[in-house]
A and B are shown apart, each in its own frame.
Chain A
Amino acid sequence: MSTVPEAALPATTGPLWRRIGPFNPLTAVILGIVGYVIGADIVGHTLASGVDAQTATDQNDISFILGLLFGVCGFLIGLGFANYPVSRILGREASLREKEQEGLWRYFTLCTDHKVVGIQYLWGVLLFFLIAGFNAMLIRTQLLRPSEHFVSADRYISLVGLHGTMMMMMSSAIVIGPFGNYFVPIMIGARRMAFPRIEALSFWLVPCAEVVLLAAVGARGFPSGWTGYASLSDQAKLGMDCYLISFGLIAISLMLVGLNMLATTLTMRAPGMTWGRLPIFVWGVIATAILQLLAAPVLLLSMALVLMDRAVGTSFFLAGLGGSPFLYENLFWVFGHPEVYILALPGFALALELVSVFARKPIWGYKLAVAGLLGVTFLSFFVWQHHLFVSGINPALRPFYMLTTELISIPTAFVFLNAMGTLWKAKIHFTVPMLFALALFFNFFIGGASGVFLSDTPSDVSTHGSFFVMAHFHYTIMGGLVFAAFGGIYYWFPKMFGVYLNEAIGKVQFWLFFVFFNLTFFPLFIAGMEGMPRRVSAYAPHLQVINDFVSSAAYVLGFSFLVFVFNVIYSCFFNRQVPATDNPWRSRGLEWQLPTPIPVENFARPPVIQGDPYGYGNPEAVPVANLNPTPAEVTAAGG
């Protein structure tokens, strides 16, 4: 206890110009453009000249790819991400923390305060959610009629791909990004994440990726949906490179988030924070982080290999040239299936957290919940070929994958039992966050049960590639994760921003969302069973009635998010309701015991954790942490 590592100190203050510039969003954008030009026009053209396949057509993948990569690097350098590595190469002293003390500006630049990163994630991800949701509205408009009438066939496929990819990318971060970064360090009694710079990088890669993805619109789109199957991806236009690079960037981001979250929970827990006292949300984050750390590299690899096939001339996925599309399908789903639990697990954990707070009861069967989360994590690496039941890959293994897939229902069902046990004889408060959390269980059951249909190979033969699958995953992702995320927003908003979101408007949003979500997606199970394939802009005329109904419901569903946007603006600027206390929900969570706003270093003194945050109903329960321990108490607790 003798040293004060630099890392623990707040960044030095200095003159304003020093603190703002020269690394800010403006330099970032400028360097991003400069990078693109250098990459595409100078390096790219030099490398590509002489490569017939690239220059003989108007489609020069090499220079486009290099342009995008250099552009992204330029953007990150412009934000200041290169300063630290360069100092280190020269052996100079470099601060581990950056821009934590500056006002509003820090939200728009490289900042290593985990709370700032959390808020950056929240608004960044919501913005992309709205854009991708807007794409969904366009999709639904096209599907009002059984043949192309609104957009052309290629535009439609690009729209679906953009919607799906962007949604998958943003929803991998919609809970763990904002709430993981903001609250996990606090919940475990830490001042920061293990690697604050990596944390900042993991956020800034997300807007890079999303912008690169959107750039596909200007590069004639990409025809492959979010799954990007080869060898369609190989013959696609330049827009495909945008998909590949942007998903690759997300893979890096996911991997870094996973690494950071795991390191943080492994090493940064406050004295007394045993594994059995971790909030269940932290367990959810740990499980997710394991999946991210291990699965995302495989995604990075698949994207990189497709890029090589397109630009360097390798033939990984080209049948007859020594490669095989099956290789891509396997690699993609080795990532792709863990990915869907990257989406699901934080949602489960968050919902359990909310149910416990608003049922005023401890989580029933805490250990079972942990086992459920980890069990899903483990199993999810062994099921990927259920996406390939009719592909002809390994037909003999189908019973195995059927079994493993169905086995996942068991740990998932633990989470349901936890929620039901927690509601038993509870004191249920139907606040807005609670409504969202409870809706998750309703929606996710439908999603999960339809998953069990799909996991049954004979049944999957009839529904694979149909809207049944599409309804399945909207029920699990939209109905599960997105509901949980909105529950989290309503729950933590008072802590993060110091005001309530308006409750009445929140209820309006919830009911519109819940009812029209179900009206939108349930009929699509039927459409799928009736033989409506996915990703088609033309379908059998007798399905028009269902589709029109669905589209109408989807518009109202879209409207419910405008209600949310209105609620945020209204509650933040026009009708600020400041909670009377720091802990308006009477939660026992550690984050609620801190003042609002939470100070930069979170804890003035290292908290000594005394119990889990679920002491509801137990008069003898000690507070979750001693926030003002003496040094002796810290040492006694093992700190």
Chain B
Amino acid sequence: MLSEFGYILLFIITAIVFTAVILFVAKLLRPNRPNVEKLTTYESGEEPDGNANVRFNIRFYVIALLFVLFDLELVFLFPWATVFGNETLNNSTDGLWGWFAIVEMFIFVGILILGLAYAWIKGHLDWVRPEVQEPQFKSPVPISKYEAINKKYS
């Protein structure tokens, strides 16, 4: 088992060394003539305006929380998936093992889906929309006059 994780270690080392070598070689090769225009933040060709450190919508936090919960469920699913179709266990229990395992897992996932459905129906997952402020303005000219002008010049 440890030697199999050794491959992962090799991958990690390769990633670090590869990045370092590429950056170093690029630094050796490239010309270095910075100016103000080159050093500005590139954002789709737009001139950057204001602070990047804005407050995010609180709703993202709920989504992240739900993600962590289902992530935990996934952790339980993994060891189950390796033994659920095990042939020796299935044969020695006359196929009962597989049925038992799948029923248990359906109950486990079902409980969580029940919770998700409850939160969904109760509206806890609704996206908080920013309030649109409609301008309050009463024009002395009736709207039909504007429409008449629009029709005349269109």
Chains A and B bind each other = no
Interface residues of B (CB under 8 A from A): none
